[in-house]
Structure 1
Amino acid sequence: MNLSRTTDIIKFKASTVYNYLNNPINYESILADEISEFSMIDAKSFAIKIGSLPKISLEHKSNVLERSTSLKSKNEKLSFVFNFKVSEIDESSCNIEINFKGEFSSMMQMMIKPPMNKFLDAISKKVISIDFSK
């Protein structure tokens, strides 16, 4: 299953937004309205609860060359990854392409797809209002 969204224009430098996304603790504020729980596991991973889905642990990885970060499921039974790629529009603005890719049975996909679509819609709208300079 592949789902993606691209944010509207964000009025911050691409490097500023990338640096913000590169700090796992910042995902608590990014995801705040869409999750019921957030807890840091270690410096590179955290656990969240999205809607009626079970609590999931995510590991953060970054790719400096591509200005992208990823959040990969640490649960072998739920294999998926969120990718956030920051693209520069000009010196003072950028956008983020958010991708979700997961390997699920057709039954699991039917259960996961609606809340994940809602989650991606909300996150793509939320990130344009964040003050990335903090």
Structure 2
Amino acid sequence: MFIETPKIQISKNTEDTFNFLNDLPNFRLLMPENIEKFEVLNENRFLFALKGMPEIVLEKKEQTPFKQIVLGAASEKLPFTLTADIIEVDTDKSEVVLSFKGEFNAMMAMMIKKPITNFINTLSTNLAKV
């Protein structure tokens, strides 16, 4: 399953945008309103739970300074990644595209596609506001 948000423009250069996303406590600012729990576990992992959903632990998997950050599920039960691609537009502007990639059976994919799409769209919308 692959889901991608439209590009959003941010009034920060690529370095500032990268540093914001690389600082995991900042993800609390991007979360939907229905967040029930958010906890930074260490500098590379955080846990969150949305109302009616199980807790998910995300950890940094890869990063390319000022261009990309890849977070992934810490659990092997639901293998997926959430990638932020950062594109330079100008010296003080950048664009970000969030993408979700996961390996799920057809039934699971059908059940989670809409909530995941809403979730990453909310992250993207809130990132544009920060």
Query: What's 1:55 paired with?
Result: 55
- Compute the displacement of 1:32 (Å): 5.0
Aligned length, in residue pairs: 130
RMSD: 1.6
Q: Distance in 2 between matches of 1:85 and 1:64?
A: 9
Answer yes or no: is the 8 Å Cα contact 1:34–1:119 preserved in 2: no
Q: Distance in 2 between matches of 1:93 and 1:20?
A: 14
Answer yes or no: is the 8 Å Cα contact 2:57–2:74 preserved in 1: yes
How does the TM-score come out when normalised to structure 2?
Answer: 0.91
Q: What residue ranges of structure 1 are gaps of 5+ in the alignment?
A: none
Query: What's 1:129 paired with?
Result: 129
Tell which deviates more after alignment, 99-108 or 1-10. 1-10
Query: What's 1:101 paired with?
Result: 101
Q: Distance in 2 between matches of 1:65 and 1:129?
A: 22
Q: Deviations over 1:9-47 (max 9, x none)?
A: 211111111111111111111225352211112221011
Query: What's 1:16 paired with?
Result: 16
How does the TM-score come out when normalised to structure 1?
Answer: 0.88
Is the aligned partner of 1:82 residue 2:90?
A: no
> Which portions of structure 1, spanning 4 or more consecutive aligned residues, are displaced by more than 3 angstroms?
none
- Compute the displacement of 1:123 (Å): 1.5
Answer yes or no: is the 8 Å Cα contact 2:32–2:119 preserved in 1: no
Identity %: 27
Answer yes or no: is the 8 Å Cα contact 2:82–2:100 preserved in 1: yes
